[in-house]
Amino acid sequence: MEAGKQVTAWYCQTRDMTVLIAGCGDLGTEAGLRFAAAGHQVVGLRRSPEKLPPEIHGVYADLSKGVPQLPADVDIVVVAVAADSSTEEAYRAAYLNGVKNVLDALERQSLEPRRILFVSSTAVYKDSGGAVVDESTPTEPTRFSGKILVEAEDLLFARTHGTATRPISLRLGGIYGPGRTRLIDQVRTGKAVIPAQPRHTNRVHRDDAAAMIVHLTTMEQVPDPVYVGVDDYPAEMGEVMQFLAAGMGCPEPPTAEPGGASDAGPGDKRCSNALLRASGFDFAFPTFEEGYRALLDGQGVRHP
Ligand SMILES: NC(=O)c1ccc[n+]([C@@H]2O[C@H](COP(=O)([O-])OP(=O)(O)OC[C@H]3O[C@@H](n4cnc5c(N)ncnc54)[C@H](OP(=O)(O)O)[C@@H]3O)[C@@H](O)[C@H]2O)c1
């Protein structure tokens, strides 16, 4: 448990912590740059560490197989690995083996970082017919992806139980941001179709997701175990498409025939960020409008 003088001392420490980012891709790098800018030492683990910017000390690791010697003074661990493909095997290798191997390495070296944050997903929740979903909603994933993420979260919670480490699962909605142009491209090329049944899209800009990682791992307040990481406004998909079409001067996408092939069907949920907001987090892009406006203006880069 985090209690006593040692913890108080850490809360006063705003610089000079050692942060390990396991699976340091686009999101991990953006978070790493923010940790570095705040004066912390950042180590990034990935299979191609040469792609990392100079602010992040890159170390080769295949997290699905094992983790090398870790810095002995590690204070914060972030697991932000992504699966190589959308198969059950790839998900198990990245998320489950990734978390297990990081925890094994820490245990091997008898290290107990203050906080470990696992980047999870709102895919752990089943569609709720448009009802509001938050941290108190039971995880009932219907697909293998959500099931494996729940297994990885459970492993993190079980293995840190009774230790000095505070585990956090950050369940992110759909990340959009620089270089993630699928929806923009669909609207621009006339391939986008507005679902006939209203369907909410729970989104978060990459920069806000990175800022959440820094906030939750360094905030003075003791973090809760789970946070839903989405922006303020679960917009309907059609609304986002119409906004993009207007912003790019393209024709408005057509609406699908109810029950037709391009109708997304009734699956739907609206995720709430109230707990994250209550922790003091502020968004740079509170809704898709601010975020997509910045993207259409060409702001930001996707990290390799
Ligand atoms: N995309 C979404 O909408 C969404 C939604 C919710 C949550 N998330 C989560 O957000 C997180 C970050 O996503 P992202 O966009 O930053 O992904 P990304 O850019 O693909 O970064 C993930 C990084 O993980 C590394 N990696 C993959 N397998 C590895 C392995 N076996 N060993 C070591 N490193 C490995 C890759 O680097 P190397 O190839 O160099 O190893 C890659 O750069 C992921 O946890 C993802 O599940 C994403």
Q: What is the CATH number of the domain that holds 72?
A: 3.40.50.720
Is there a domain that residue 81 lies in?
yes
Read off the pLDDT of residues 259-295 as tens digits, 9 standing for 90 and up.
665 555 556 899 999 999 999 999 999 999 999 999 9
Our mutation pick for probing the ligand 1 site, out of 125, 168, 175, counting the most ligand atoms within 8 A of Cβ, is 175
Question: pLDDT value at position 3?
Answer: 42
- 135 Cβ below 6 A of ligand 1: no
The response to whether residue 295 sits with its C-beta less than 6 Å from ligand 1 reads no
The residue range of the domain holding 59 is: 5-176+203-231
Cα of 44 from ligand 1 centre, angstroms: 12
| Predicted confidence (pLDDT) per residue in 25-71, tens digit | 999 999 999 999 999 999 999 999 999 999 999 999 999 999 999 99
Residue at 68 is within a domain: yes
- Is the C-beta atom of 61 inside 6 A of ligand 1? yes
Asked whether residue 280 is domain-assigned, the answer is no
Residue 171 lies in a domain: yes
Domain membership flag for residue 30: yes
Tens of pLDDT, residues 147-171: 999 999 999 999 999 999 999 999 9
Residue 54: inside a domain: yes
Q: What is the pLDDT of residues 226-244, one digit of tens each?
A: 999 999 999 999 999 999 9
177 close to ligand 1 (CB < 6 Angstrom) = no
**Is residue 293, in this structure, part of any structural domain at all?**
no
- DSSP letters, the chain, are ---SHHHHHHHH--S--EEEEES-SHHHHHHHHHHHHTT-EEEEEES-GGGS-TTSEEEE--TTT---PPPTTEEEEEE----SSSSHHHHIIIIIHHHHHHHHHHHHTT---SEEEEEEEGGGSPP-TT-EE-TTSPP---SHHHHHHHHHHHHHHHHHTTSS-EEEEEEE-EEEBTTB-HHHHHHHTT---B-SS--EE-EEEHHHHHHHHHHHHH-SSPPPSEEEE--S--EEHHHHHHHHHHHHTPPPPPBPPTTSTT---S---EE--HHHHHTT---SSSSHHHHHHHHHTT------
Domain count, the chain: 1
Ligand 1 atom with minimal separation from the 172 CA: 6
Which of 86-100, 172-186, 201-215, 263-277 is predicted least confidently? Answer: 263-277
Report if residue 264 sits inside a domain.
Answer: no
Q: Does the structure show a pLDDT above 70 at 10?
A: no
Q: How far away, in angstroms, is 141 Cα from ligand 1 center?
A: 20
